[in-house]
Amino acid sequence: MTEDDNPWLRVKAWIAQHPELERWLRFVSPAFLYSALDERLAFDEALRQALHKRIPGFARRRTLCLGGAALVLFVNQVVTGVLLAVYYKPSTEAALASLRFVEQQAALGFLIRQMHAWGGSLMILFVLLHMARVFFNKAYRHPRELTWVSGTLLLLVALAFGFTGYLLPWDQTAFWGTLAITDLIGKAPLVGNLLLTLICGGRQVSELTISRFFALHCLVLPWVMVPLLAAHFAIIRRLGISQPM
């Protein structure tokens, strides 16, 4: 095939006539950047060590996959939550209407809404089952105390996700359920009123409450969850998986 028949050959020939342009294209090419970074940071060696780690035979038991299932469900929550946030309006007047629009008119909106709603409950369930397995197998003992502590913090964050997300539909069930929980928080000794004011913006569940819950659910808690997940997996990677009793 001649240059007249192939436009790409004509482009290559034109680039070859301009040495400065050819050197610049080589500099910005992904292959050059990867080789330069690999020379300094040893990407290939790090990937080789990460992907060729020997897994013990007992780690293939189904009960040891509960934590991984909870992670998959968290990824589902992130993806579906971003899609819902495109249409959701955090106000007492528009919250329920925006979710009805998602379920009735948006493409695949009903599926995404249900995946997010059920995914949140299943994520908390799998975290609880995972921690129950760790507790009954006594996998929290030395030297894995930090693994248990980080897992407990992840459970608290998952419960906070469920609590803050429960109000966002702003229907009767969400309102009265949240009101019951906030009443319990307000009755806590010494700090009850302070906690209630910080969470709800006052003594009552109102417009300010749904705005704060949306900010916590979508902005604050993800930034807490991701570093805790990274720390949890780093500790597991360092200490390994505890062998079941």
Single pTM value for the model: 0.78
- Quick check: 50 pLDDT over 50? yes
Within this chain, do residues 106 and 45 fall inside the same structural domain, yes or no? Answer: no
Within this chain, do residues 16 and 47 fall inside the same structural domain, yes or no? Answer: yes
Instruction: Evaluate whether residue 2 is within a structural domain.
Output: no
CB contact set of 64 (below 8 Å; sequence gap of 6+): 58, 133, 241, 244
For 65-100, the pLDDT digits (tens) are: 899 999 999 999 999 999 999 999 999 999 999 999
Measure the CA–CA gap between 95 and 83, rounded to whole angstroms.
Answer: 15
The top-scoring range by mean pLDDT among 29-38, 114-123, 182-191 is 114-123
Number of domains into which the chain is organized: 2
Measure the CA–CA gap between 47 and 135, rounded to whole angstroms.
Answer: 32
Cα separation values, 177 from 103, 120, 124, 170, 198, Å? 22, 16, 18, 10, 19
Within this chain, do residues 100 and 221 fall inside the same structural domain, yes or no? Answer: yes
Within this chain, do residues 175 and 69 fall inside the same structural domain, yes or no? Answer: yes
The whole domain housing 41 covers 7-51
